[in-house]
Structure 1
Amino acid sequence: MKPRIAVLGCGYWGSNHIRTLKSLGALHAVSDANAARAEGFASEQECLAIAPDELFERQDIDAIVMALPPQYHADAAIRAVESGKDVLVEKPIALNVADAERAVATARARNRIFMVGHVLRFHPAFEKLKELIDTGELGTIKYIHSHRLGLGKFHTESDALWDLAPHDLSMILAITGAAPIDIRGEGAALLDHLSDFAHVHMRFPGGLRSHLFASRLNPYRERRLTVVGTKAMAVFDDVEAWDRKLAVYRHAVWQDSGHWAFTTHEPSYVPVEPGMPLTRELEHFIQCIETRQEPRTDGDEAIGVLRILTAGSVTHD
């Protein structure tokens, strides 16, 4: 029997969780501060609508997916795990490291699954990229850069860095396997006091360096992660079609008689089996509930991402 999962927060991303969990046969209930919205989803998906204050103590709920404004995530997660529920908390799991540590520590003390919604870790193209890196296909990794650009969405509490960068930071940390030893951030606020553009530069143990660029005021969409190794370079471009999402460039650079020389090659596209990252993420969450295994995107990873967001943030007047 599948675990009985409730979704708390029926907004844009919560609605995606609702429909995906329904397709997986694990949706038991929905909950939202807007009762009419919850009732609408309950009727559409043939599940229960439960008021938020009643949700945590329900004995017929095994786990809760939380898709709330981030300032509410930590307290809601703590209340859930103290009530014996496993949780998947959307990013960011808190607006400061202390609240995140408090939530993760409570889940650990109660032996509850605490998973964070870093959905791109479950993208088939990223999984294949990670496999290429782990098997040495790219050589020693020297540099990683990510660009996540587009128009919107605009939030009253989180800027471009906090809204867009967690996905990329999660992937970068998965590749490096270590926390950065130096972080520098730069942002620009054009609409109000929240940054609409953000650059973060990171230096990791062993000399590996990385940067990310996030923007919510860009005229075109860009969703690109580039990994530069000593043997080859790889690009995960999520805007491309499935047969071109993961490209490997085997450019060569060498020194000849005191001068640098290089050759360029056309990219080779790595076959990637299409699959919905959110479906794969929720399948993993269900498996973790059933087997009690530690999630791939656990609380410690979420705290690591929050530390970089905090260090890379720029305050505007």
Structure 2
Amino acid sequence: MAPRLAVLGCGYWGSNHIRTLKSLDALYAVSDANAARAEGFASEQECLAIAPEDLVRSDEVDAIVLALPPQFHAEFAVAAVEAGKDVLVEKPIALTVSDAERAVAAAKANGRIFMVGHVLRFHPAFEKLKALIDAGELGEVKYIHSHRLGLGKFHTENDALWDLAPHDLSMILAITGQAPLEVRGEGAAILDNLSDFAHLHMRFPGGVRGHLFTSRLNPYRERRLTVVGTKAMAVFDDVEPGPRKLAVYRHAVWQDSGQWAFTANEPAYVDFDNSGMPLTRELEHFIECIETRAEPRTSGEEAITVLRILTAGSVIHD
């Protein structure tokens, strides 16, 4: 029998999970502290509305997607896995490393699947980029930088770093395959005491460097991940239209008579399988992990590493 999934949290991102699971014929129930909101989605999507306190105890629910304010993720994740439910927790997994570790440990102790919603890991352009790197097309990776900029999404609990950086950090960790040795953060709070701009500087084993810039007070949108290798450079630009989202630059740089010289080449746009939205592919992966008991690509352990980087790079403002 196909797993029966429920979504706890019917806000902006929870509603996306609800509609996507419905399209996959996997939505069994919805739940929210606001009962009227849950009832509205239940009526719209023709599923059950179950109160949060009853959801984790329901024998009819196999797995729960948690799309709550992050301060509540650990509490409900622990309750869900202890009740025998597999969970997908939206990012960030928690607001403290200790809460994240507690939730992941509870899932392991109870033999449950624990996945985290780092959705860009399932973007087909990123999957193709990762395949190019693994195949050696870029040579040895030396530097990675990401920019995630825009206007809005002001949260009372999350600053620009905690809200915008987890996706990029997950992609960077997938490329490097290891946690950074050093993390340094810089931030600027313009509206209140939460950073509206944030920079992270990272140094990884083997000399790989990483840089991340996030902003929620930027006049234009930028969603760009750049990887610099010894043979080529690649850019995943999610603002570009589909055929131009992934570009490889085969620039040449060399020394000539003690001076550096270079040849700049036009980008080569890389074809990739663009079927399926990243969230659809993410939820399909979650369902597959439930059915096969395989370790998710975006595991709880990786999410803990992301949280450690965020914590190390956070800047406290007066």
What band does the TM-score fall into relative to the shorter chain?
Answer: over 0.9
Match of 1:232 in 2: 232
Letter in 1 for 2:289: C
Tell me the alpha carbon deviations over residues 58-113 of structure 1, each in whole angstroms, 9 at most, x when there is no partner. Answer: 00000000000000000100000000000000000100100000000000010000
Q: Alpha-carbon deviation of 1:152? A: 1.2
Letter in 1 for 2:73: H
> Would the aligned equivalents of 1:35 and 1:51 in 2 still touch at CA under 8 Å?
yes
Letter in 2 for 1:289: I
Letter in 1 for 2:270: V
Match of 1:104 in 2: 104
- Indicate the SS of the match to 2:201: strand
Count of residue pairs brought into register by the alignment = 317
Tell me the alpha carbon deviations over residues 184-222 of structure 1, each in whole angstroms, 9 at most, x when there is no partner. Answer: 000000001100000000000000000000000000000
Match of 2:316 in 1: 315
Letter in 2 for 1:280: R
Match of 2:183 in 1: 183
- The whole-number CA distance in structure 2 between the counterparts of 1:292 and 1:28 is 20
* 1:257-276 matched pairs, under 5 angstroms: 257-274=257-274, 275-276=276-277
Are 2:244 and 1:244 equivalent residues in the alignment?
Answer: yes
> Would the aligned equivalents of 1:116 and 1:297 in 2 still touch at CA under 8 Å?
yes
Are 2:286 and 1:300 equivalent residues in the alignment?
Answer: no
- Indicate the SS of the match to 1:129: helix
Q: Alpha-carbon deviation of 1:130? A: 0.1
> Would the aligned equivalents of 1:165 and 1:214 in 2 still touch at CA under 8 Å?
yes
Letter in 1 for 2:83: S
Letter in 2 for 1:127: E
Match of 2:289 in 1: 288
- The whole-number CA distance in structure 1 between the counterparts of 2:259 and 2:68 is 56
- Indicate the SS of the match to 1:54: helix
Q: Which blocks of at least 5 consecutive residues in structure 2 are unaligned?
A: none
- The whole-number CA distance in structure 2 between the counterparts of 1:212 and 1:136 is 24
> Would the aligned equivalents of 1:242 and 1:272 in 2 still touch at CA under 8 Å?
no
- The whole-number CA distance in structure 2 between the counterparts of 1:125 and 1:194 is 32
Match of 1:41 in 2: 41
- The whole-number CA distance in structure 1 between the counterparts of 2:133 and 2:152 is 32
* 1:25-64 matched pairs, under 5 angstroms: 25-64=25-64
- Indicate the SS of the match to 2:128: helix
Tell me the alpha carbon deviations over residues 218-272 of structure 1, each in whole angstroms, 9 at most, x when there is no partner. Answer: 0000000000000000000000011000000000000011111100000000002
Letter in 2 for 1:151: L
Letter in 1 for 2:82: E
- The whole-number CA distance in structure 1 between the counterparts of 2:109 and 2:7 is 23
* 1:6-25 matched pairs, under 5 angstroms: 6-25=6-25
* 1:122-137 matched pairs, under 5 angstroms: 122-137=122-137
- The whole-number CA distance in structure 2 between the counterparts of 1:123 and 1:47 is 28
- Indicate the SS of the match to 2:231: coil
Match of 2:220 in 1: 220
Aligned CA RMSD, in angstroms, stands at 0.4
Q: Alpha-carbon deviation of 1:180? A: 0.2
> Would the aligned equivalents of 1:5 and 1:65 in 2 still touch at CA under 8 Å?
yes
Q: Segments of 4+ in structure 1 off by > 2 A? A: none
Q: Alpha-carbon deviation of 1:273? A: 1.9
Letter in 1 for 2:172: I
- The whole-number CA distance in structure 2 between the counterparts of 1:44 and 1:51 is 17
- Indicate the SS of the match to 1:190: coil
- Indicate the SS of the match to 1:206: helix
Q: Which blocks of at least 5 consecutive residues in structure 1 are unaligned?
A: none
Match of 2:195 in 1: 195
- The whole-number CA distance in structure 2 between the counterparts of 1:270 and 1:304 is 30
TM-score normalised by length of structure 1:
1.00
TM-score normalised by length of structure 2:
0.99
Stretch moving more, 269-278 or 150-159: 269-278
Letter in 2 for 1:305: V
- Indicate the SS of the match to 2:282: helix
Tell me the alpha carbon deviations over residues 4-37 of structure 1, each in whole angstroms, 9 at most, x when there is no partner. Answer: 0000000000000000000001000000000000
Q: Alpha-carbon deviation of 1:137? A: 0.2
- The whole-number CA distance in structure 1 between the counterparts of 2:197 and 2:189 is 7
Q: Alpha-carbon deviation of 1:276? A: 0.4
Letter in 1 for 2:310: L
